[in-house]
């Protein structure tokens, strides 16, 4: 009797990168791997997802898992800040099993594949752009002993020379992608701000057709936007709720509300499900203003948290980064959201080449005037492939990609040092939240008060945040915050 051939395996591994802010609120599922693992299954392979980042595993644990898995293929993904750890993870796979085929995808390697290959020989293939079809065909080709140079959407080295295959067109429909939900270790995923939560994620669309010069997404998706059938997304929500107990959903779209009719249909469908769920989302300020009359549907559907990217509080900066909004729209949008008891979150970007202490002070005062529930003060980060990169390149002082996390300053302005920017960012956080704490403690909306108090407790309890708070003028966490924290505890 002929011996049955063992099914070949691919292991997807998240790079073990941490910068201390995103993880404060929850543990987020790697939705990209859910779709990519589905594609790998279509190619006939067994697939595993190992979320080392969420598990807070370091390289000793990753090595153990790689040995245990014995995978024929190991794949990872990277944005700019995680590229070093993604490469290190694949290098470890190669070290343990030299015959392992390593595959890398994501925004950073899509644009910087030459740089990646010049820095390491641990990466066999880079999937450029949208990955599901390219990965499936690559795996089918390799399993059949075919030539990968015939697969569009790839970059790889052959005999010391770079091979870049033709660009693959985006999928016409993103409705029927195979999703390997069963491969996630669901108990790992929680949203700490809501008790007894299981955190999932859904994608209702892909892309953004706007022009923000600092953004990686409009670049990656080539200013295109494609939407899923809202009925199929609602079916997916229902499936995840009943099958895996997901009750908090992050909508991962860059721009879910682009088409008002479609978006309202989605809200209506979710409302009709009558499920006890919460939705977290982001969108653009003009769409909130546009949707003023249906904002009650947002809340009834379960939307409890909306992030809008204000980025700047003066029109000149908004025009420079091509945000395509009026400076007055941010306050208007936040007020509309607040009228419906929904938590707001936004960010203000600091450290542009012309930044001064006075301009930062103006930004803080305007942030306090706008009064979002959560504000982030971020360091402008020039992705090496972003439209703004060449313009700000003379001011870049940091070249370690691990620092390209919107937290650590990368640019040194003309009239400020990088240390001054770092301290100014921390002081903006301190002064904003010292003022905000008093407001939150006295809020009458019980859900919103509890939500924000738990969020602030998580933020203030983070060792990363405490360290950052200690950088400012006091050299320690302010006594007022410590006093308020006792009330929150």
> Which residue segment(s) compose the domain that 134 sits in?
9-164
Whether 175 is covered by a domain: the verdict is no
Residues 100-152: tens digit of each pLDDT: 999 999 999 999 999 999 999 999 999 999 899 999 999 999 999 999 999 99
Whether 241 is covered by a domain: the verdict is yes
Whether 183 is covered by a domain: the verdict is no
Could you tell me if 140 and 229 lie in one domain?
no
Residue 342 clears pLDDT 70, i.e. is over it: yes
Single pTM value for the model = 0.91
Could you tell me if 149 and 271 lie in one domain?
no
Could you tell me if 213 and 320 lie in one domain?
yes
Task: Tell me the residue length of the chain.
Answer: 489
Could you tell me if 317 and 258 lie in one domain?
yes
Could you tell me if 219 and 139 lie in one domain?
no
Residue 339 clears pLDDT 80, i.e. is over it: yes
Could you tell me if 330 and 447 lie in one domain?
yes
List, in order, residues 6 or more apart from 390 with CB less than 8 Å away.
none
Q: Total domain count for the chain?
A: 2
The CATH number for 20's domain is 3.40.50.2300
**What is the reported pLDDT for 99?**
96
Rounded CA separation 218/212 (Å): 8
Residue 312 clears pLDDT 60, i.e. is over it: no
List, in order, residues 6 or more apart from 356 with CB less than 8 Å away.
413, 415, 416
Q: Are 364 and 428 in contact (CB under 8 A)?
A: yes
Task: Identify the band that residue 19 occupies on the pLDDT scale cut at 50, 70 and 90.
Answer: confident
Could you tell me if 146 and 197 lie in one domain?
no
Could you tell me if 309 and 357 lie in one domain?
yes
**What is the reported pLDDT for 389?**
86
List, in order, residues 6 or more apart from 223 with CB less than 8 Å away.
207, 208, 209, 210, 211
Residues 255-275: tens digit of each pLDDT: 899 999 999 999 999 999 999
The CATH number for 350's domain is 3.80.30.20
Strands (E), 106-230: 125-127, 154-158, 161-164, 199-202, 205-207, 225-227
Residues 190-214: tens digit of each pLDDT: 999 998 999 999 999 988 765 555 5
Could you tell me if 272 and 406 lie in one domain?
yes
Could you tell me if 92 and 145 lie in one domain?
yes
Helix (H) or strand (E) run with residue 428 in it? helix 418-441
Residue 325 clears pLDDT 70, i.e. is over it: no
Of the chain, the end-to-end C-alpha distance in Å amounts to 67
Residues 357-397: tens digit of each pLDDT: 999 999 999 899 999 999 888 898 888 888 788 889 999 99
**What is the reported pLDDT for 321?**
44
**What is the reported pLDDT for 351?**
93
Whether 177 is covered by a domain: the verdict is no
Whether 127 is covered by a domain: the verdict is yes
């Amino acid at each position: 009797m002929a011996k049955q051939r063992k099914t070949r395996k691919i292991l997807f591994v998240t790079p073990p990168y941490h910068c201390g802010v995103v993880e404060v609120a929850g543990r987020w599922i790697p939705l990209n791997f859910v779709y990519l693992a589905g594609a790998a299954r279509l190619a006939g392979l067994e697939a595993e997802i190992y979320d080392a980042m969420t598990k807070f595993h370091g390289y000793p644990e990753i090595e153990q898992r790689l040995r245990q898995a014995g995978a024929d293929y190991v794949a990872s993904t990277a944005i700019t800040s995680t590229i070093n750890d993604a490469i290190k993870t694949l290098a470890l796979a190669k070290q343990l099993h030299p015959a392992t085929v390593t595959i890398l995808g994501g925004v950073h390697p899509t644009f910087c594949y030459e740089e990646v290959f010049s820095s390491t020989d641990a990466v066999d293939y880079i999937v450029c752009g949208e990955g599901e079809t390219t990965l499936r065909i690559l795996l089918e080709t390799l399993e059949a002993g075919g030539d990968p140079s015939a697969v569009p959407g790839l970059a790889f080295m052959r005999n010391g020379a770079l091979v870049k295959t033709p660009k693959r067109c985006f999928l016409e429909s993103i409705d029927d992608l195979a999703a390997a939900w069963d491969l996630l270790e669901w108990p790992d995923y929680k949203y700490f701000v809501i008790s007894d939560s299981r955190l999932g994620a859904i994608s209702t669309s892909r892309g953004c057709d706007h022009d923000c010069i600092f953004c990686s997404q409009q670049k990656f998706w080539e200013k295109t936007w494609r939407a899923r059938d809202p009925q199929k997304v609602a079916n997916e929500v229902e499936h995840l709720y009943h099958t895996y107990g997901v009750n908090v959903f992050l909508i991962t779209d860059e721009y879910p509300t682009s088409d008002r009719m479609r978006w309202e249909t989605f809200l209506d469908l979710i409302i009709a499900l009558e499920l006890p769920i919460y939705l977290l989302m982001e969108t653009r300020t003009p769409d909130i203003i546009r949707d003023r009359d249906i904002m009650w549907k947002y809340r009834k559907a379960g939307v409890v948290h909306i992030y809008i990217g204000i980025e700047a509080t003066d029109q000149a900066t908004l025009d420079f980064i091509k945000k395509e909004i009026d400076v007055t729209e941010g306050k208007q949008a936040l007020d509309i959201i607040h009228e419906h008891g929904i938590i707001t979150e936004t960010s203000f970007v600091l450290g542009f080449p012309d930044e001064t202490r006075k301009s930062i002070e103006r930004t803080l005062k305007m942030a306090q005037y706008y009064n979002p529930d959560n504000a982030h003060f971020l360091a402008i980060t020039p992705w090496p492939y972003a439209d703004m990169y060449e313009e700000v390149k003379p001011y870049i002082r940091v070249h370690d990609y691990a620092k390209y996390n919107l937290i650590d300053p990368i640019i040194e302005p003309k009239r400020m040092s990088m240390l001054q920017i770092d301290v100014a960012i921390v002081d903006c956080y301190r002064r904003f939240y010292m003022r905000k704490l008093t407001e939150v403690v006295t809020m009458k909306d019980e859900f919103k008060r509890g939500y924000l108090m738990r969020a602030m407790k998580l933020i203030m309890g983070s060792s990363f945040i405490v360290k950052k708070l200690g950088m400012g003028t006091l050299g320690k966490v302010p006594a007022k915050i410590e006093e308020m924290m006792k009330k929150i505890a």
